[in-house]
A and B are shown apart, each in its own frame.
Chain A
């Protein structure tokens, strides 16, 4: 069965500092990979996705992620964090299902705290 591990429950960074959120997955086939962000009281917003091709993926809000098959990782990065980036971040792996659909399995999330 597929699974996602986000080893860091909380991450604290200073505004302007760089950020890396870790994600490791377990899946037998080539995965679909996603990063979502959830602000308090809000739904999930898709930051970026990897389906195939270039392993460095650019997303919204200045985020990027790199797929490393050998390490089963899909870490999220941002060169300079803004106070508005404080939120919960979820990594997900999409299981291929019938009819070309996929069902994402989510990690438990990493809470990002940004200090001024």
Chain B
């Protein structure tokens, strides 16, 4: 049974560019949440998708947007990248928006 998978593992972008990160949930899960983890900090909640709609959102600007597909996989898009967006981006999946299982993350570096 595959767990939560994320792609890519690492990527490097330049300020002002746009980036898309991808997440496939654990088999049987229908909810995907995204987190940003800066170096030396705990993860911070970005948003949660359920039934292809954004259901909850943390304190992140509109530059951060997402999507959930009918197969429950999800994308996180970040526009107009800033240096401060450099972080580990974690995806977590759950069933019926309950207990969350985390993927290994995507390390984003903005230069």
Residues of A within 8 A of B (CB): 4, 36, 41-46, 49, 90, 92, 97-109
A106, B38: Cα distance in complex, Å: 12
Residues of B within 8 A of A (CB): 4, 31, 33, 40-45, 48, 50, 55-56, 58, 90, 92, 94, 96-105
Report yes or no: A101 in contact with B56, Cβ–Cβ below 8 A.
yes
Report yes or no: B56 in contact with A106, Cβ–Cβ below 8 A.
no
Identify the 10 closest CB pairs spanning chains A and B, nearest first. A101-B97, A106-B42, A43-B102, A44-B102, A43-B104, A108-B42, A43-B103, A106-B43, A90-B42, A97-B56
Supply 20 further A-B pairs (C-beta < 8 A) apart from A97-B56, A101-B94, A106-B42: A4-B42, A41-B104, A42-B104, A43-B4, A43-B103, A44-B90, A44-B102, A49-B99, A90-B43, A97-B55, A99-B55, A99-B97, A100-B97, A101-B56, A101-B98, A103-B33, A103-B45, A103-B58, A108-B40, A109-B40
Contact partners of B103 in chain A: CB under 8 A: 43
List the A residue with the shortest CB-CB distance to B51.
A99
Report yes or no: B98 in contact with A104, Cβ–Cβ below 8 A.
no
Contact partners of A45 in chain B: CB under 8 A: 102
The smallest beta-carbon distance between B47 and chain A, in angstroms, is: 10
Residue of B33, B43, B94 most packed against chain A (CB within 10 A): B43
List the A residue with the shortest CB-CB distance to B91.
A43
A73, B71: Cα distance in complex, Å: 39
The smallest beta-carbon distance between B37 and chain A, in angstroms, is: 8
Report yes or no: B101 in contact with A101, Cβ–Cβ below 8 A.
no
Q: Which of B33, B55, B94 interacts with A98 by CB under 8 Å?
A: B55
Given A46-B99, A98-B56, A103 and B104 contact (CB-CB distance below 8 Å): no
